[in-house]
Amino acid sequence: MFEPLTPIEQLIHDPSPEMLCAAASDPRLTEHLALALLERSDLPANALERLAKHGRLKKRHKVQFALVSHARTPRFVSLPLLKHLHTFELMQVALKPAVPADVKAAADEVILNRRETVSPGEKLTLAKRGSGRLAGALLLDKEARIIAAALDNPQLTGALIVKALMKPRSPQALAEAVCKHAKWSLRPEVQRALLLHSGTPLGSALVFARKVPAETLSEILRQSRLSEKVREYLLKDSESHKCRSTELRVPSTE
């Protein structure tokens, strides 16, 4: 036989918003029941605010994490709680579909502010499994394996790679890694960003430059951080390649 629900257990399952608010501030509420209450997607904002102020539960770590993860938690409640969460919990918050975009961005920001204290192993996991914004920031890391992991992150976009390549402090290791990447090295917008990067290997730069119209290439190279000799070489190669292509298209008159 099932044991009858206690009055407080009945409250957390009540459909009434008023009763849910009462449950959230009830002194009999335990951590287990608070977490059960936080599983309700229909929990009103007032109830969430009361839970955050609950005398016995407001400092319980699991409750704090559940509050931040809830879609209806007011920003003035969730944002201050972010600093109390562990790094991987912040990563989970940033990936939860129901969490508001500004809270996700704030979670990423807290992680980025902790970068200097995060271990290399943790940073590698963040690069692999973190949000696209986090992966994009870790493309600027000093370690090649962190950069490689970030490039394989499924949340990463071409726009984030271009943004990282355009940074003045963008490392040579990033340009080299992107040039070798089976997916990103084929994207036209990424190739053009690589033509602007001082660390792009000559062989890759030649391949990318030949795909760009001569006038466009000239404009790109005027803004490029590649050395002057490399830029001159790419322009000469482009003209030569264009002439050879024209000759191949001209039909023989013999």
What's 19-65 look like in SS3?
A: HHHHHHHCCCCCHHHHHHHHCCCCCCHHHHHHHHCCCCCCCCHHHHH
Measured CA distances, 224 to 20, 164, 194 (Å): 60, 15, 9
Confidence at residue 238, expressed as pLDDT on a 0 to 100 scale: 87
Determine contact, residues 72/44, Cβ cutoff 8 Å.
Answer: yes
Confidence at residue 253, expressed as pLDDT on a 0 to 100 scale: 47
Amino acid at 91: M
Distance (Å, whole) CA 29 – CA 198: 60
Low-confidence residues of the chain: pLDDT under 70: 1-6, 241-254
- Furthest C-alpha separation in the chain: 100
Distance (Å, whole) CA 110 – CA 82: 7
Determine contact, residues 124/149, Cβ cutoff 8 Å.
Answer: yes
Distance (Å, whole) CA 97 – CA 200: 36
Rounded to two decimals, the pTM is 0.84
Confidence at residue 242, expressed as pLDDT on a 0 to 100 scale: 63
Determine contact, residues 80/53, Cβ cutoff 8 Å.
Answer: no
Measured CA distances, 19 to 10, 37, 72 (Å): 9, 12, 17
